[in-house]
A and B are shown apart, each in its own frame.
Chain A
């Protein structure tokens, strides 16, 4: 045996690997969804009280252990939401690379597991083992702390973000306002990292990101006002309950201004998430890597985790506000109450319906995630002055207009209830027509390519 002999994998290895990754493909989402469906509703206060009363045999109001059980539930909620964000971010990182490769006529990661599905685990492990470098000139304390602000900003959003009929850690009265507010934590992290890195590129990226995120919070806030006006509540669950399961019951279709607001919100979210065409803060061709230029190892991984977990947040917020959230077509509040039964704990049908509602929500969210990924690998980046122009000259006035139109439209709809039906139909038809045109044009473009494979190799 020579020194450089290469050990080929044993024949059975490949089968095992494919089996393992296929198992992971099924097991990870299954585990994740059961975690969400079974843990999150259970840690709500009424359910916890029922648990203490029925299973532990104590009266929750008087028993001393209640507070501890509540604290445990909070801890559990944190673990569940963070696990969810980490795994979703990881899978998105693999998925985005596969989609990008597909769009660029490449193959993409396909070595670790079947279809490269386990690539994100390999990447995470690699980054964990790398040295956690702090540049000599950096402000070490702030440099180390900055990523946690970014992660905190992302994780706190998940607290009020629903994923199913009862799957929300805390259904706050000011849910959507809270989500807007805690997103600002990310700005704190970014500007701290940019400043403390003591690198000019990092500072550039941080200043750009801060200007961008803060600017785009205004059109995002105005766009959010439209569904809030229509629902009359800031609670995320309330917003979804004000909509229905069928498309014509969604806010997006009920009001033409809401359709406009949806696009304003979506663009603003792209900007807040630093996604192309608004990835100025980490513009690779200009700023090397922007505000996280100097990071390595685990801290670097945290930035990327947040970036990809943000994909879920972008999709989830938009589908909560405009696309009916988890509402299952044909299932009304009465249905939910009926399947729940009258016991302290809900019946099995209720839990099954929770799964369905999570599925509906995930489908809508993942569709939007897909759109974000398509946009990222299609469009060039805009310049900073164009980014500001778009925000202040177009999106902010359009946001105000949408809000005022909604106010007017609601008054009109109060007098003539038919208006709502007519506008819903009109927007639905317009959407169908746009989708149809899009498909026709795509088909035409694909046929225009008409590349025959030219085999130039094998001389």
Chain B
């Protein structure tokens, strides 16, 4: 690819080709952008992905259905719960299993806590990429506590491997409920602190407002999903519009970009939708803890399930957009084909067409606002 680009760059005018990565502080993983610039203004930024490709889909065809669960953690290490859940839901559809309600609630709680943690990293790195280092540390401080909570729940801080086909692995430990409520009480005030800290900062708003606008139509055309889609003003959330798991039981709002700092669909809208979503996730966790039903943690699933030949698909509202798994079974104990659709990969596709005319500093804001995570892109 780089050769192609090199040929296109006109050596006689003042364009310059820069490798923005793979080792670069603000590419959020191992990513490369081939950036054609004319001084500070970009002609184009072409994402060059694949540095973190680990053949995770192929591995799915090699290991059995339950054995693939730890691998899903590695698809998105910042929001591993969603990757777990998406896979579990797909295989459950294939096996025609009904998940017990308590497991559904635990899934919702773990996912929403994970969503808060993931969005904290997203908005924190957004601030760092704009040049304010301090907010990231505040975000990580809050995230550490979620990591502690999830560690108590499932024994891992990053790659949880918590969900199982047919349910979840562990019940809440004693006293966990109170700890979560105590945390959320603290967290709700820290969302407002976050607003005072950086969201209302004039430089920050000027840096993000009106920059890299993705219109409603573009967002739909490019298959953006999750906060990126909602940031462009599309009111679409799988938790509400195609409900799964325990989500029909909860009341929550879906924040949609309103052009808070200028134009609908700019970097600031995508950023601020995430901030508002964190508060909504906190609401969901509170409701789930309140309504928590008693019952089994897992449905009865054989240790080596052999689903009938067929196919199944799951759609999950992940922190980075729609996460879909497509599993094809040929009747053996391994999938015939496994495919994961991730939000970051789709978001990466739009960068090339949004980037012309932006400044180099805006590319950093664009990448951060799309919240792309390299392992999720490459899988």
Taking Cβ atoms with an 8 Å cutoff, the residues of A that contact B are 100, 103-106, 200-201, 204, 207-208, 276-277, 279-280, 283-286, 288, 377-386, 445, 448-452, 454, 456-457, 459
Q: Which of A279, A380, A381, A456 contacts B183 (CB 8 A)?
A: A456
B183–A285 CB distance below 8 A: no
B182–A285 CB distance below 8 A: no
By Cβ-Cβ distance, the 6 closest A-B pairs, closest first, are A381-B131, A104-B137, A380-B132, A285-B26, A380-B130, A456-B148
A283–B149 CB distance below 8 A: no
* A92 to B189 Cα, complex, angstroms: 34
> Inside 8 A of A100's CB, which chain B residues have their CB?
133-134
Closest Cβ of chain A: how far from B181's Cβ, in Å? 10
* A288 to B18 Cα, complex, angstroms: 13
13 contacts between A and B (CB under 8 A): A104-B133, A104-B134, A284-B25, A285-B25, A379-B201, A380-B130, A380-B198, A380-B207, A384-B40, A450-B189, A451-B190, A456-B179, A457-B148
A448–B204 CB distance below 8 A: no
A456–B149 CB distance below 8 A: yes
> Inside 8 A of A286's CB, which chain B residues have their CB?
26, 360-361, 364
B25–A288 CB distance below 8 A: yes
Closest Cβ of chain A: how far from B341's Cβ, in Å? 29
Known: A106-B137, A449-B189, A449-B193. A285 touches B130 (CB 8 A): yes
Q: Which of B134, B201, B359 contacts A103 (CB 8 A)?
A: B134
B25–A380 CB distance below 8 A: no
Known: A377-B133, A377-B134, A384-B359. A454 touches B141 (CB 8 A): no
Which A residue's beta carbon lies closest to that of B182? A454
A448-B193, A454-B179 given; name 10 further pairs at CB < 8 Å: A104-B137, A204-B18, A204-B360, A280-B361, A285-B364, A377-B133, A380-B130, A380-B203, A385-B359, A456-B182
Query: Is B289 an interface residue when CB atoms closer than 8 A count as contact?
Result: no
> Inside 8 A of A383's CB, which chain B residues have their CB?
207, 359, 361-362
B130–A381 CB distance below 8 A: yes
> Inside 8 A of B137's CB, which chain A residues have their CB?
104-106
B129–A378 CB distance below 8 A: no
> Inside 8 A of B157's CB, which chain A residues have their CB?
none
Which B residue's beta carbon lies closest to that of A452? B186
> Inside 8 A of B220's CB, which chain A residues have their CB?
none
A378–B134 CB distance below 8 A: yes
Q: Which of B132, B173, B182, B193 contacts A459 (CB 8 A)?
A: B173
A454–B183 CB distance below 8 A: yes
A279–B131 CB distance below 8 A: yes
* A280 to B362 Cα, complex, angstroms: 13
Which A residue's beta carbon lies closest to that of B145? A456
Known: A103-B134, A285-B129, A454-B145. A459 touches B152 (CB 8 A): yes
* A194 to B28 Cα, complex, angstroms: 26
Closest Cβ of chain A: how far from B275's Cβ, in Å? 16
* A385 to B41 Cα, complex, angstroms: 10
Which A residue's beta carbon lies closest to that of B127? A380
> Inside 8 A of B24's CB, which chain A residues have their CB?
288
> Inside 8 A of A284's CB, which chain B residues have their CB?
25
* A201 to B149 Cα, complex, angstroms: 42
Query: Please, what's the 1-or-0 string for B134-157, where 1 marks a CB less than 8 Å from any CB in chain A?
Result: 100110010001001100100000
Q: Which of A276, A382, A456 contacts B207 (CB 8 A)?
A: A382
A283–B138 CB distance below 8 A: no
Closest Cβ of chain A: how far from B232's Cβ, in Å? 22
B16–A200 CB distance below 8 A: yes
* A95 to B344 Cα, complex, angstroms: 40
Which A residue's beta carbon lies closest to that of B152? A459
> Inside 8 A of A379's CB, which chain B residues have their CB?
131-132, 201, 203
A382–B134 CB distance below 8 A: no
Query: Is B196 an interface residue when CB atoms closer than 8 A count as contact?
Result: yes
A384–B152 CB distance below 8 A: no
> Inside 8 A of A457's CB, which chain B residues have their CB?
148
Q: Which of B131, B138, B148 contacts A285 (CB 8 A)?
A: B131
Query: Is B177 an interface residue when CB atoms closer than 8 A count as contact?
Result: no
Query: Is B128 an interface residue when CB atoms closer than 8 A count as contact?
Result: yes
Query: Is B206 an interface residue when CB atoms closer than 8 A count as contact?
Result: yes
> Inside 8 A of B145's CB, which chain A residues have their CB?
454, 456
> Inside 8 A of B203's CB, which chain A residues have their CB?
277, 379-382
B134–A454 CB distance below 8 A: no
* A304 to B186 Cα, complex, angstroms: 39
> Inside 8 A of B186's CB, which chain A residues have their CB?
451-452, 454
Query: Is B2 an interface residue when CB atoms closer than 8 A count as contact?
Result: no
> Inside 8 A of A454's CB, which chain B residues have their CB?
145, 179, 182-183, 186
Query: Is B192 an interface residue when CB atoms closer than 8 A count as contact?
Result: yes
Most chain B CB within 10 A, of A106, A384, A456, is at: A456
A200–B196 CB distance below 8 A: no
Q: Which of A283, A380, A386 contacts B201 (CB 8 A)?
A: A380
* A366 to B126 Cα, complex, angstroms: 32
B141–A105 CB distance below 8 A: yes
B window 7-43: CB within 8 A of A:
16, 18, 24-26, 39-40
> Inside 8 A of B182's CB, which chain A residues have their CB?
454, 456
* A450 to B196 Cα, complex, angstroms: 14
Which B residue's beta carbon lies closest to that of A376? B133
Query: Please, what's the 1-or-0 string for B347-361, where 1 marks a CB less than 8 Å from any CB in chain A?
Result: 000000000000111
Closest Cβ of chain B: how far from A355's Cβ, in Å? 37
> Inside 8 A of A377's CB, which chain B residues have their CB?
133-134
* A382 to B206 Cα, complex, angstroms: 8
B196–A448 CB distance below 8 A: yes
Closest Cβ of chain B: how far from A331's Cβ, in Å? 41
* A283 to B137 Cα, complex, angstroms: 18
Closest Cβ of chain B: how far from A283's Cβ, in Å? 7
Which A residue's beta carbon lies closest to that of B201? A380
B26–A378 CB distance below 8 A: no
Most chain B CB within 10 A, of A207, A445, A457, is at: A457
